[in-house]
Structure 1
């Protein structure tokens, strides 16, 4: 099955488009920025039995030797096919089985080295891939070309971006041979695990719009399935390529393509029933939480978000009769292109059929993503040497470059060294002046901290034409992926503030835990270990002064790991993976009553598992976290229950609450003064905030700084019980909440205080700032990301306004259900410029308790 690539626009249309928008060469595809990690050919994590070939020249050039950068002394250092085929004969291939679906954005190839005696390589090659091992698709680029330029010698690795990226279980490298040459190959694949599990989607073929004489094509141009009777089936395409369209659908992120390229769209004139039907098929039965659909909403051109969506579910052969229906809020239809979250209410299915009803003449989609938990598998967390290739390898593939770019690279490095030398001189020269400025600024009064978002947004609009006015609206839409790291580095923005000449130095010192062996930048479990605390009297949860922890807690016992049964992968943390597991007999093992849900024999728990290839530092950090968590005893802090450290992989077993994280719990709720189940009253919401304040009060009493307090890091149990955790950053769902600093560290800037962003200072006062944002999230039911109307760069610029304190800083607006007193006396006090003037968690807890008492009295 060859890929379907309907490249329809003619030359005239193409030239008109270039006249309108010739300069867009930035590719915002997030997956190509964050999923660029070796999948295991070089490291050996892909096993020999998972590498096969159509033939081999000899036993010493078998498929298992086709590993990029491999030099283990065995074989002749590459895979070589048995015969030299003709240039148009593609029978010879090297095949890699990834054991599960992966999102692949990059491939690398080398020739045969044979300890300096080999000189065979592939100058060109093609790629085929399959998701089921039966149907194979030939990769094409966005212009329809299949041939990839390969190597020029036998030694240097050449990396090639796959544009568009592919979702595959099996991948074949097929060399295009020259009859006069023998071909040998070593390969590597780069990407990450395809957590959606989506195998294919079926949609109607996109339509063509005539706009002011311009042909606008909304076809799925990279779809890799088949087209029959005006319907696309058995494939994936633009709706899953990690790229979403701009507000103006005539423009595109990709240079040199036709108008409408980023969107798949339909006109309601050819759908008499008034809806477009899409079918999504997955790799196995899953428990679906939500679906997020990126829609265009250019009302002036007859394009709107869908008016209603009805989703049916199928686990076997028949569709279930009970669908889920959702209507986006009508007052949010004025927004530009955005993601619309559709709650799927934990329905179980292998296939989903959704009918999207038109809200206007046209409906345009550019991306569809699903949040789900896998079906229960009878798999325990045992030590294993074989398995799917790890997705958190130690090396970033960008260290490998084409030999043709070596001179340019050397020139860039020399320029960078010169720039850094200049910066160091400037920093040293301004150091004394900066200290004097900081000391003087602390005496400034916080007289104008009551500025409101609606007023200040207008001021921002004068300087940022792209900023939309919000007027206190509560949007249902959120961004699910982060911006490109090279869009505009925060250090570049901060240099605009003369008061912060040293800011780039602070940011430059941000480092990933564990050095080169740590997990990918978006998969850190604990933001608290990204920076050293500047206050010597405080300690982060995973970086506590060793003088406080002398040996493990005697009450922490070894739990039999064979009694842990895997249920769902929650994410990837700093030390490895985080799993939802069922622990058999844990209650009897602990010999105590536990509040978590489950039957008498088993209990749902979260298990942090250390990577088997973790280095010594990561192992010590993991054991250090165990010792710290074993001492935390508070009803509103997630508790460490047991450990598995008798052998690798090391595991820690913590509580997990029945209702998941607070963010997703509140997203599915609606505000109602006196309702239960999927409805929350103000008293219940404040009750949740009281519990978070109580847990933070306990941590602050121990001088612990959390550094990533947010609803995503709070778990919800029975009867609205809240416990603070640190799983949020390990979940791909929340990648959009973290901003990448200088290509390495990631920070939740929308929850961070100004001094944390600009000066790298993390204290209990900065946790108070984050609590104010968390309280705002709770009272808005997490329907909107904080500062959703500001870009990440504008959020950072806003912190500069807090420092200058000239009344231009932008505050989060008062939630609709929030009393004036709670907003002005509590929230705004958490965001005071002077950290010493912010309330303590003891004061916050007391004030919230008084608010609850007042509401109870009024009732």
Structure 2
């Protein structure tokens, strides 16, 4: 109940975000944060100047409110009508700049120099510099009137730039000094220019309406090229575009518009260029829909994507619903289906005589702007005042009434949510009672194709039968999923050492395979093993990790265990790692272990020193099935011999409790290891935290792929691959284990189903959750999630923004395949080529996912 209430309290933040994003992706009224001149966040090396009086008036002293050196930046000479002196700031990335502040040189009362006027030039890439001009075309900005007051000036329109130059302007000879600050926020769209036909003029009976892009900063002749303008200024147009002059100067000012008669093809083309290859989820286009003036939103848009130098051959098309009842302007969201691109070319088709746009924004691999303060504002910064409130530095409160209205609405929404949560609790208890009889049987979840809603099937659990009982009712929690299904790629892939043994000829093996591999067919037509064909190893933790084909298990059944009995008295218990329904996992020291293991295994421990091991211990009161499974697991584990798979070293099975002794790595599991480290860079240097390089991350990921390649070659399906199940040794050595489920530390990573089964749903493929199918392809899915964890240094749980129920609902979107599914976002450290590999691992069609052999090869190529 408390969890649901916490979810309810989180919803207002989402509601506030949604309310804020109705107007635009970036809100100029809120994007007003000091970018680091005053606070020192912008380092000295990123501040430069054309000249300086002396070393004590160098560019690094041009910080607003700073008094270091001689109190400001002062150029040598500033001549009337000859702009050559400038103070330049490099923000290192594109920023949306809405406000600037300037100050003169005060120097404790000794200074008397300030800039009465100045201009601003900016650049997005350092190659082309653009002179800023306001909405009326004026370039000169009014500066300071004395040496101590701060003069804040709104940038209308805002600028999108990485490099900014302040250039003092004088009309008579005088000395000039400046201290400056920039205000805004990071430009997360990544858009660096758009090319489009020039806007046109609409002739109304009373007056003309100019629909040109009046603040476009690129070249404008018959078309607009290599610039940004009104479509990215954060200002949305009015419902009645003829009234725009009330706010901005003339009718139609906020819109860029085109007439159908000027375009014989019935469409206009706009191309968007971005700073790098991005993973695009959607495009939002703010359109006018005043059909009484023959203006409508676009009829269709067709988008082409370019990732490198070539355009993709298959475009994406989208048609919004035509609306002739509501004349309000609106945002139309176009889903871009996670296309990877550095440029997008869209053709917008006319639905009427005119088409008017005022804002186009993109959602890609970075988070959307919102109207609440950024989650990581620069230390010591706060939103600056509006220019009108300059002396007292108050925050612009023009949206206060809107916010109050939103808060009132949120209160009502909260009350409704609490009522719904209470109702759901009662309903869920009733549903659990009604389904208790069904829960005693093995169930698998599937989707009803006809209704596109979840329904549950009661399977007979016998080979060759497909009896099922359907329910048309929808449910919100997934019931037990039949965890004993898998789909190995080839039945004949057996353990190599038993492919053809003297005890069992090849023909006998084939006969056994034929006898024990009865298949059932699911609705996608792909065969997978029925429950009777899979060895169910219950395990000490109550969950089974490795899924083994019965064919392979049959081949092992006649073989003796090849590990030694280890004296219990030589085990020293250090720590309980975890526990489950049937036993416990302990961290121990083992003395003299070298004498009990095979000669092909070498410990990196001096002779005579105790060895760190993990001991799986079965409780003495465990039932017969659990004991049998434990012995089967010993037999299976004894055959796994790979440098990146945890090795079974010895056993204690001559008396109770039964134990198996496996390797344990001195650095613990990968999840805890990475969470204690930081990526290499300035932040790590400041915090003195231990670091791991990108190359080392790739090395660890490659080892995991190698271990999984070995398992997949034996038709073993891990089913719980994650960083918690990978152990770290010296020199970033990785070995895959299987006891993460037993640790209380990771209980939040598992979703408990009706108190019976626990599943790592955030790592599971959609077919594993909905169809109960665990295959090598589903392990590939989990590998990509594990890779995502690694590149995020395990600082965040996958899909942390979603509840468990929302994660399950998202798998339904994968099933329906209507391009509404949510993917894990691209980590900051992740290059585009690696993220593309991850997206391939999350393909809906399991057959289209790469194999572990291919993943291992790709990771090897990525290593420095």
Instruction: Give the TM-score normalised by the residue count of structure 1.
Output: 0.48
Task: Return the index of the structure with the highest Cα Rg.
Answer: 2
Which is bigger in relative contact order (C-alpha 8 A, separation at least 6)?
A: 1
